[in-house]
Amino acid sequence: MKLILSKFKIIRAGWCAAVVIAILMPAVGLINPLMADDKTYNSLKMFTDVLEELEKNYVDDVNSEALIHNAIKGMVGNLDPHSSFMPPEAFDELQDDTKGEFSGIGIVITMKEGILTVVSPIEGTPAYKAGIQTGDMIIRIDEKSTKDMELWEAVNMMRGPQNKPVHITIIREGEPAAIEFSINRDLIPLESVRSSTLKPGFGYLRITNFRMNTLDDIKIHLGRLEAENNGLKGLVMDLRDNPGGLLDQAVKISDLFLSKGDIVSIKGKQERNSQVFKASEADHDRKYPVVILINGGSASASEIVAGALQDHSRALILGMTSFGKGSVQTVRPLKDGYGIKYTIARYYTPNGRSIQAKGIEPDIEVEYEILEEKEKKMSVFDRMVKEKDLKNSLKPEQAKPPEQAKTQSKKNQRLLDTDQLLHDAQVKRALDILISYGVFSNLNGG
């Protein structure tokens, strides 16, 4: 559930080890007093005094390196829930989140008030199929309590060999007792985009996360939808339970539907960490109306897309208020394979809104619900004779099949069950809005 500023990710190893080296060196005289105020200098002196005291007089031998690492971990971890000091194994795993395939159960987690909490299950993964939900609080993993557990440690415990089960215990709001799950790990696919035609002329685009190839996949899916429907009359973009990902992907995807103005701005303490991302002239005419679906599991990059299109009145936002992660993280490598992830900026929508801890509020609030098929009851009017019932009545003309889009790889052509989608109350409401918009636009030549 992170938003990573990708331009900062590729950095030469060891570049930012200076702060760590200053702490690791027991000789306080090596700390340049010109680089820190008196309070910082005195605090560092206290740190080395405590370390020396423990090394000399603690009842058992102490591991000085472990003590120092724990101190750094506490220093960074207390900044905010998205900042952390990572050992080599955690730093390596971080790279999988945006590009590498891995075996796990498929959930995005965060620390919320010190409790390991599910941001969202990834669609189609073992956790999603098992019934894990946004907001579930994980209290045990394989019988080990998650109290005081590091986020990376929890991730590592839930990843592992394919088909090997992991046992998790959760607490869910509204449930009187804890719920236990035994979930078999599986490969978590890189695929982040799926699509379908809800009704002739109206497309559905599902984006589950923002990875390195998401923009390319979206272009393929939009091209297919537009070709199959001889141009779209409307699009439902589903960002529900999308935990985010890469900032550049969110910007470029927003740019597909905008031709001018700001998309998002980020503001940090350092000028180099502040930037305004602007829309460019569109290379494809996509003027059809868009409805974006969001919920409490929509976070980070997905909130950037929703906020940008909402502020430009380019899309109507439907669903429930989003997660509310309005911060940007960068990743810096340290020496010996260690790394640090920390927050460098807040981001703002085109109208200057910060959604940190607030979220994107929908234009139309609709709760998730599965619509049951109504029993078909024939009224007297249903039984009335129609033109089609008359003997030798002319048959309706058959519509010509639309020209098919060029064949793409199976990965990028994965479709969704339209009937199942139309039983989703939020999708159905979005489609009704798009159809109504088309009807009213055509009235009186509008």
pLDDT digits (tens, 9 = 90+) for 385-399: 556 666 666 766 654
Q: Where is pLDDT greater, at 425 or 102?
A: 425
- Apex 133 CA angle, 323 and 368, nearest 5: 70
Per-residue pLDDT at 7 = 36
- DSSP string for 322-381: -----EEEEEEE-GGG-EEEEEEEEEE-TT----TTT-PPPSEE----BPPPPP----TT
Q: In which band, very low, low, confident or very high, does the pLDDT at 372 lie, cut at 50, 70 and 90?
A: confident
Q: Rounded CA gap, 213 and 233, in Å?
A: 26
SS3 114: coil
Per-residue pLDDT at 415 = 61
Q: Where is pLDDT greater, at 175 or 152?
A: 175
Per-residue pLDDT at 397 = 62
Per-residue pLDDT at 342 = 95
Per-residue pLDDT at 90 = 82
Per-residue pLDDT at 36 = 56
Q: Which residues are catalytic?
A: 300, 311, 325
- Contact in structure between 147 and 133 (CB atoms under 8 Å): no
Residue range 219-241: average pLDDT?
95
- DSSP string for 36-51: S-HHHHHHHHHHHHHH
pLDDT over 90, % of the chain: 62
- Contact in structure between 137 and 107 (CB atoms under 8 Å): no
Question: Number of helices and strands (H, E) in the chain?
Answer: 11, 21
* Residues contacting 174, CB < 8 A, separation 6+: none
Over the chain, what is the mean pLDDT? 83
- Contact in structure between 132 and 116 (CB atoms under 8 Å): no
Q: Rounded CA gap, 91 and 100, in Å?
A: 13
Greatest distance between any 2 Cα atoms in the chain: 104
The b-or-e profile of 102-140 (16+ CB within 10 A means b, else e) is bbbbbbbbbbeeeebbbbbbbbbbbbbebebbbbbbbeb
* In the predicted structure, residue 379 carries a pLDDT above the cut 70: no
Residue range 65-84: average pLDDT?
93
Q: In which band, very low, low, confident or very high, does the pLDDT at 373 lie, cut at 50, 70 and 90?
A: low
End-to-end CA distance of the chain: 43
Closest CA to 136 of 108, 173, 86, 186: 173
Q: In which band, very low, low, confident or very high, does the pLDDT at 53 lie, cut at 50, 70 and 90?
A: very high
Per-residue pLDDT at 281 = 87
Rg, Å, the chain Cα set: 26
Per-residue pLDDT at 384 = 53
β-pairing, 102-104 vs 186-188, is antiparallel
Q: In which band, very low, low, confident or very high, does the pLDDT at 432 lie, cut at 50, 70 and 90?
A: very high
Per-residue pLDDT at 407 = 38
Give residue for tokens 């098929």. 373
The single-letter code of the amino acid at 35 is M
Quick one: angle between helices 247-255 and 301-311, nearest 10?
Answer: 30
Closest CA to 120 of 199, 238, 233: 238
Closest CA to 302 of 328, 320, 325, 286: 325
Q: Going from the N-terminus, what domains does the chain have, and what CATH number goes with each?
A: 3-87 (no CATH), 101-188 (2.30.42.10), 193-365 (3.90.226.10)
Q: Where is pLDDT greater, at 15 or 288?
A: 288
Per-residue pLDDT at 393 = 62
Q: What is the per-residue pLDDT across 271-310, written as a single tens digit (0 to 9) for each? A: 999 999 999 987 777 999 999 999 999 999 999 999 999 9
β-pairing, 234-238 vs 202-207, is parallel
Closest CA to 253 of 230, 289, 286: 286
Lowest mean pLDDT: which of 59-73, 180-194, 314-328? 180-194
- Phi and psi (nearest 5°) for 120? -170, 150
Q: What is the per-residue pLDDT across 105-155, written as a single tens digit (0 to 9) for each? A: 999 898 888 899 998 888 889 999 999 999 999 999 999 999 989 888 999
Per-residue pLDDT at 413 = 46
Residue 174: C-alpha distances to residues 34, 135, 288 (Å) = 56, 11, 41
* Residues contacting 2, CB < 8 A, separation 6+: 82, 97, 244, 245, 300, 329, 341
Closest CA to 52 of 21, 32, 17, 28: 28
- Contact in structure between 82 and 2 (CB atoms under 8 Å): yes
Q: Rounded CA gap, 72 and 51, in Å?
A: 13
* In the predicted structure, residue 17 carries a pLDDT above the cut 50: no
* In the predicted structure, residue 195 carries a pLDDT above the cut 70: yes
Under DSSP, the state recorded for 401 is P
β-pairing, 234-238 vs 290-294, is parallel
